[in-house]
A = this chain, B = another copy of it.
Amino acid sequence: MSRYAIGVDFGSESGRAVLVDVADGTQLATAVYPYSNGVIDERLPLPDRDVTLPPDWALQDPEDYVRTFQATVPAVLRDSGVDPSDVIGLGIDFTACTMLPVTADGTPLALLPELRANPHAWVKLWKHHAAQPEADRINETASRLGEGWLPKYGGKISSEWFFSKALQILEEAPDVYARADRLIEAADWVVWRLTGVETRNPTTAGYKAMWSKREGFPERAYFEALDPRLADVVDQKMSREIAVMGDRAGGLTDEAAAWTGLRPGTAVAVANVDAHVAVPASTVIEAGRMVAIMGTSTCHMVLAPDEHLVPGICGYVEDGILPGFFGYEAGQSCVGDHFAWFVEHAVPERYTNEARERGIDIHALLQEHAARLTPGESGLLALDWWNGNRSVLVDVELGGLLIGATLATTAPEIYRALVEATAYGTRVIIEALETNGVPVNEVIAAGGLADKSPLIMQIYADVTGRPFKLSGSDQAPALGSAMFGAVAAGPEAGGFASIEDASRAMARLKDLVYEPNPEATRVYDVLFREYVRLHDYFGRGENNVMKTLRGLRASARDDGA
C-alpha cells in the first residue's frame, strides 16, 4: 500500500505544496499559491489607510500563509488523486528569520483592528533590513560583554535575525512590543495554526536566535544590557522548550483539516527552514558535501562531526541541520538578484529584442553569448556586493564593484563577470570553511539557478575546482519538508524512524555532474587571487570608499526628503 507525505515550502513571494510518494520520493503533484500581498515594502495593504514604509522594510501578511494551505494542499490532493487517508504526514519549511508578534492564542497583532495600521504589527520578512542599528548594538554589546556565542556566528549577527527585529519593535513601537504575548518565527506560527500547539523549532532558534543545545539562549544579563525592557524577552514572549528536529509537533486540528482536505490528526512535523530541509533532500547526510541553495541569494550548508570557529560564516549549530552533526551555514546575499538587477538595469534593447524574437528568456540569451567567452576573455572582474556581503565579511554596507571595462566591453561580458564574481564569493566561503577545519569536497546545488543554467554551474565548478552536482528534485525544500512529515509520522504509520532513513529512500541526485576543467581553473586561480585582494582591500577597512559613498547617498536623500 502506498503512503504519501506533503511538504509545504513558504518562500518570499509564494507558498508551494508538493505531494510525494514516501517509498521513493516521487513527486505526484505540486501547487503554488502566490501571496496575495506578496512582499510588502512600499505601503501596507489597507483599503482605507495609506501607511507608507521607510526604506529597507519588508513585511508580509500572515493570512497569506493560511491561504497557502487552503489553496495548495487541496490542489495537490485533487491533482494526484491520492486518498487523504494515505497521507501520513506533513512538514513545512520557511524563510528565516521571518517573525511576527502574536497574542497568547496565536492571533497575529496585524489582525487586530487597533494595530493593523502599525507596520510593526505585521510579519517581518527575512529581508527586512531596517533593524541594522539594532544589530549593530547587539554586536557591540556582545563584543563588550565577551559573549561566548558571538564567535559561533562568525563574530557578527545580522540585521535579519530574530533579536534585531524584536529590538526594533521594542524601540520603535513599544506598544506593539507590550501587546505581543509571543514573538515567534512564522515557521513555528504556521505549525501552531495547523496543530493548535505552540512549538519552537531548533533550527531557527539555533541559527537566528543565538540558542544552542548546550548553552540555551544568551543570558538575561545580556538582554538587560541591551535594553532593560528586553531582559525577560525569552521567558515572557518566547520559550526555552525547543523541540527536537524531526519530531511530531502535533496532529492537524479539525479546522486545519478542513482547510487542507487532510484527515484530522495527520502528523505535522516540527517546523524547519527552507535551506536546511533541502540538505537531506539533496542526499546529504554526511560530512564534506556542501549543499548550495542557489536562488535570489545563496545559502551554503555543510555538516562536520566536530566544532570549529569559522570567521564570517552565518553560524554553526549542533544538530542544527541533521542530528549528530554540527551544521555550518554561510550565505551570499546577491546571486540571482544580481543577474536580475543586471537584466533590468543594464541590458540594451538589442539583446531584449533578440530574446523576444527567438522566444527565449533573456538570461538564457545572455548565457548563450557569455558561454562563447573563455575564462579571462572579458577582461573584467567584479565584487558581487550589489546587496552587501553576508559571508565572510558580514557587512550590508558594502557596494558593488566592476573593474576592467573598455569601450569594447559588451553586456554578455559583464553578465559573465557578475556570474564569476558570485562564484569567487562561493570560493571564499569554501576556503574559509576548509581553512578552519570543515572540509568541502563537492557541492550539491539546488534551487532555480542550479537547474536553469549549465553555464553558471560550469563556472562555479571551474572557479572552485570542485565537482558541482545537482539535487534530484527541483523542489528540494518542499521535498525535504515532506520527508520530515514522513519522519513525524514514524515507521509505524509507514514513515521513517529518522531523517537519514528518509533521505536514503526519498532523495536522489540528477545524473549530470559539472566537473571542473583544469585549464579553466588555472585561469580562474589567477582571477581569484585578484578578487581576494580587492575583497580584502575594500571589505576589511583598508579603503572604506563604499561606506563613504553610502553615507553620501543617505545624506543626499535626507536633504532631498
A residues adjacent to B (C-beta < 8 A): 334, 337-338, 341, 344-349, 352-353, 373-381, 386-387, 399-407, 409-411, 414, 523, 526-527, 530, 533-534, 537-538, 543, 545-546, 548-550, 552-553, 555-557, 559-560
Cα–Cα, bound, A116→B363 (Å) = 46
Q: Which residue on chain B has the smallest CB distance to residue A529?
A: B548
Instruction: Tell me if A534 and B526 are in contact (CB < 8 A).
Output: no
| A545–chain B nearest beta-carbon distance, Å | 5
Q: Give the residues in chain B near A543, CB-CB below 8 Å.
A: 533-534, 537
Chain B residue, CB-CB nearest to A409: B345
Instruction: Give the docked Cα–Cα distance between A537 and B401 (Å).
Output: 15
Known contacts A400-B404, A550-B404; decide if A348 and B337 are in contact (CB<8 Å).
Answer: no
B545 A407 Cβ-Cβ under 8 A: no
State how many angstroms separate the Cβ of A58 from the closest Cβ of chain B. Answer: 12
Residues of B within 8 A of A403 (CB): 399-402, 538, 545-546, 549
Contact B545 A378 (CB under 8 A): no
A377 touches B553 (CB 8 A): yes
* Cβ contacts under 8 Å, A352 to chain B: 348-349
Contacts of A546 in B (CB 8 A): 403-404
Chain B residues with Cβ below 8 Å from A530 are 545, 548-549
Contact A346 B411 (CB under 8 A): yes
B399 touches A401 (CB 8 A): no
Who on chain B is nearest to A544 by CB?
B530
Nearest residue, chain B, Cβ from A380 = B549
Q: Which residues of B contact A549 (CB under 8 A)?
A: 376, 379-381, 403-404, 527, 530
List, in ascending order, chain B residues with CB within 8 A of A400's CB. 402-406, 409
Chain B residues with CB under 8 Å of A560's CB are: 374, 377
- Picked from B386, B406, B407, B414, the residue with its CB within 8 Å of the CB of A407 is B386
Q: How far is the CA of A144 from the CA of B348 in the complex (A)?
A: 48
Q: A341-B409, A546-B403 are in contact. Are A349 and B349 (CB under 8 A)?
A: yes
Instruction: Write out the residue numbers on chain B whose beta carbons fall within 8 Å of the beta carbon of A381.
Output: 545, 549
Best-buried of A353, A376, A411 by chain B (most CB within 10 Å): A376
Query: Bound state CA distance, A110 and B411, in angstroms?
Result: 37
Chain B nearest CB, measured from A539 CB (Å):
12
Q: Which residues of chain B are near A373, meaning CB under 8 Å?
A: 556
Question: Can you list the 10 inter-chain pairs with the closest CB atoms, starting with the nearest?
Answer: A376-B552, A379-B553, A400-B405, A349-B349, A377-B556, A404-B549, A399-B404, A376-B556, A401-B403, A374-B556
Residues of B close to A334: CB separation below 8 A = 407
Chain B min CB distance to A362 (Å): 10
